[in-house]
Amino acid sequence: MHRIPSGTRDVLPDEMRELRAILDAVRGVFEAGGYGEIATPALEYESVIARGGGGASRPAYRLFDEQGNVLVLRSDMTIPIARVVATRYAHAEPPLRFWYAAAAYRGVRPQRGQPRELLQAGIELVGAPGAAGTAEALTILCQALDATGLRGYRVGVGDAGLYRGLLDRHGVPEDARVPLLHELVTRDFAGVERELARLSIDAAAAEALLRTPQVRGGPEVLGEPGAEELAGLHALLPPAVAERVIYDLGLVRDLGYYTGAVFEVYDPALGRPLGGGGRYDDLLGRFGRALPAVGFALGVESLHLALTGEERG
């Protein structure tokens, strides 16, 4: 047998037809929304991509070109598009709207069925600040999912700056935050509880810092301290989008560049999120054109799994 690397796959015609139907459906929504398709090279210079920061956005595959430059395989499309905006659209009037369907490359852990190469479809909305920009991205997201025929999905929406704001409000010292944020990012609430017990803060503050990141639900949770930004977003969402949203005050994503609203797409037919995104208002500035931006990416293969799962019931 001639093997292919674990986490990669050949797509044969039966499956390809179904993937193509998904791509056609989302493309229709993106184009109708005024988004233009964009393609960038799978290979980029490491020094350029490194401006995007750490987390899961860090590339996993490196190689050398003929001159000894270090090249990487892109791990998402957001950073390459930030580069394109800063270089090819340096003087263009915002907002700029792009969509893509492209392969991204990730490192995998052995024996877990994780993809090394995954097909992503998504948008980037550049130069549309604040809640209005986020509301547009969420609207396009829901329209795209509706167009594929997915029925049971919900969109978790959180705020990447929320927990830091709470730590400020309750006067948690800087050096005590690192272990606390580590427990939160690794989603260990027993660990959060343990770290809070070590701090010399009053019981009400500790209770708030433990409870708030576990609060999730409909608009009724937006009265919580720290949820003001999300309440502002909610006011701008059309009803068809708002009814899909689960506000999640503890939502964190492991990409390094998010600054405000963050989102994840869930479907009861799949045990993991099938896509996500958020605001990244600082990323473009690192490439020399400071513009606020928001975007999302859907894992097309995950979306396909969720659709077939819903079909089976």
Question: Per residue in 238-251, is it b (16+ CB within 10 Å) or e — as a string?
Answer: eeebbebbbbbbbb
CA torsion sign, 172 to 189 to 179 to 278? negative
- Which C-beta is closer to another protein: that of 52 or that of 276? 276
d(CA 313, CA 307): 10
Return the number of the residue (97 or 253) whose C-beta is nearest another protein.
Answer: 253
Q: How far is the CB of 266 from another protein (least distance, A)?
A: 5
- Nearest approach in angstroms of CB 265 to another protein is 10
Phi, psi for 309 (deg, rounded to 5): -65, -45
Q: Is 301 among the residues that bind another protein (CB under 8 A)? A: no
The single residue among 13, 41, 271, 313 that binds another protein, judged by CB under 8 A, is 271
**The tokens 């659709």 sit on which residue?**
307
Q: Which is nearer to another protein, 61 or 189 (CB)?
A: 189
Q: How many residues belong to the chain?
A: 313
CA 214 to centroid of chain Cα atoms: 19
Q: Which is nearer to another protein, 218 or 238 (CB)?
A: 218
Residues 21-50 that bind another protein (CB under 8 A): none
- Minimum Å gap between C-beta 270 and another protein is 7
Interface residue with another protein, options 33, 191, 219, 285 (CB under 8 A): 191
Question: Is 187 one of the binding residues for another protein (CB under 8 A)?
Answer: yes
Q: Whole-angstrom Cα distance, residue 86 to residue 288?
A: 6
Long-range CB contacts for residues 149-152, cutoff 8 Å, separation at least 24: 149/25, 149/307, 150/267, 150/303, 150/306, 150/307, 150/310, 151/310, 152/267, 152/268, 152/269, 152/310
Q: What single-letter amino acid sits at 228? A: E
Provide the token pair at 43: 């290979």
Tell me the sheet residues that pair with 243.
Answer: none
Residue 266 in the binding site for another protein (CB under 8 A): yes
The two structure tokens encoding residue 117: 């190469």
Nearest to 282 by CA among 107, 122, 52: 52
- Least distance (Å) between residue 188 CB and another protein: 4
* Token output for 25: 């459906």
194 makes contact with another protein (CB under 8 A): yes
| 181 Cβ contact list (under 8 Å, min separation 6) | 163
Give the nearer residue to another protein in terms of CB position, either 190 or 204: 190
Are the C-beta atoms of residues 233 and 248 closer than 8 Å to each other? no
Scanning 78-86, 199-207, 228-236, 266-274 for contacts with another protein by CB under 8 A, the matching segment is: 266-274
Residue 156 makes contact with another protein by CB under 8 A:
yes
> Of 193, 207, 243, 311, which one interacts with another protein (CB under 8 A)?
193
Report the nearest approach of another protein to the CB of residue 38 (Å): 30
CB of 156 to another protein, least distance (A): 5
Would you say 34 or 54 has its CB closer to another protein?
54
Among 62, 268, 288, 311, binds another protein (CB under 8 A): 268
Among 273, 282, 305, 310, binds another protein (CB under 8 A): 273
Binding site for another protein (CB under 8 A): 109, 154, 156, 186-191, 193-194, 214, 216-217, 246, 248, 264, 266-268, 270-273
